[in-house]
Structure 1
Amino acid sequence: MAGRAQAPLDDIMMAMDVVDTLRHEQKMVEKELGSEARDENMIERLRQVYASQGIHVPDYILEAGVEDLKRDRFVYRSNASGFQRFLALVYVTRSTWSKLVVGITTALVVIIVAWQFLVVAPRERAAEALRVELTEGIPARLNELNNRISGLTSDTSVMLEAQRLLEDGLTAASDKNVASARKASTDLENLAKNLAAAFEVKIVSREGVPTGVTRIPDANSKAKNYYIVVEAVDPDGRVIERQVISEENGEATTVTIWAQRVSRSIFERVRKDKGDDGIVQDAVLGTKYRGEKAIDWENGVQKGAITKW
Structure 2
Amino acid sequence: MADSSAASAAQPVKLDDLMLAMDVVDTLRHQEAFVARELDDEGREQELKSRLRKIYRDQGIDVSDDVIAEGVKALKDSRFVYTPPRPGLGVTLARLWVRRGRVGAMLAALIGLAFLGSAGYYFAVERPAEQAHIALSTSLPKALDAAYADASTEAKAPAAREKAAQLLADGKRAAQNGDPAGAKSALQGLEALSAELRKTYQIRVVAAPGEKSGVFRIPNRNTNARNYYLIVEAIGADGQPIALPIKSEEDGTTKMTTKWGLRVDKQTYDRVGADKADDGIIQNRTLGEKRRGFPDVDYSVPASGAAITQW
TM-score by length of 2: 0.67
Residue by residue over 1:250-295, the C-alpha shift from the partner in whole angstroms, topping out at 9 and shown as x without a partner, is 2333433221123455444433322332221232333456666544
Q: Is the 8 A contact 2:205 2:232 kept in 1?
A: yes
| Matching residue of 1:68 | 74
| Matching residue of 1:243 | 245
Give the alignment of 1:103-122 within 5 angstroms. Answer: 104=109, 111=116
Residue by residue over 1:100-148, the C-alpha shift from the partner in whole angstroms, topping out at 9 and shown as x without a partner, is 3697499569948985997677775665455333332213432553465
| Matching residue of 2:278 | 276
Same amino acid, percent of matched pairs: 34
Match of 1:23 among 26, 29, 33: 29
Question: Distance in 1 between the 2:19 and 2:290 partners?
Answer: 123
Cα 1:183–1:148, aligned 2, differ >3 Å: closer, same or farther? same
Match of 2:213 among 201, 204, 211: 211
Unaligned 5+ runs, structure 1: none
> 1:200: Cα distance to partner?
3.5
Aligned length: 301
Further displaced range: 102-111 or 24-33: 102-111
Question: Distance in 2 between the 1:288 and 1:14 partners?
Answer: 116
| Matching residue of 2:46 | 43
| Matching residue of 1:304 | 306
Match of 1:134 among 134, 140, 149: 140
TM-score by length of 1: 0.68
| Matching residue of 1:229 | 231
Further displaced range: 62-71 or 3-12: 3-12
Report SS of the residue matched to 1:6: helix
Q: Quick one: which amino acid aligns to residue 257 of structure 1?
A: K
Question: Distance in 2 between the 1:15 and 1:243 partners?
Answer: 107
Question: Distance in 2 between the 1:17 and 1:168 partners?
Answer: 96
Match of 1:259 among 249, 258, 261: 261
Q: Quick one: which amino acid aligns to residue 255 of structure 1?
A: T
Cα 1:73–1:231, aligned 2, differ >3 Å: closer, same or farther? same
Cα 1:245–1:54, aligned 2, differ >3 Å: closer, same or farther? closer
Cα 1:70–1:106, aligned 2, differ >3 Å: closer, same or farther? closer
Cα 1:133–1:281, aligned 2, differ >3 Å: closer, same or farther? same
Report SS of the residue matched to 2:7: coil
Q: Is the 8 A contact 2:49 2:69 kept in 1?
A: no
Q: Is the 8 A contact 1:204 1:230 kept in 2?
A: yes
Q: Is the 8 A contact 2:154 2:198 kept in 1?
A: no
Unaligned 5+ runs, structure 2: none
Report SS of the residue matched to 1:4: helix
Q: Is the 8 A contact 1:260 1:304 kept in 2?
A: yes
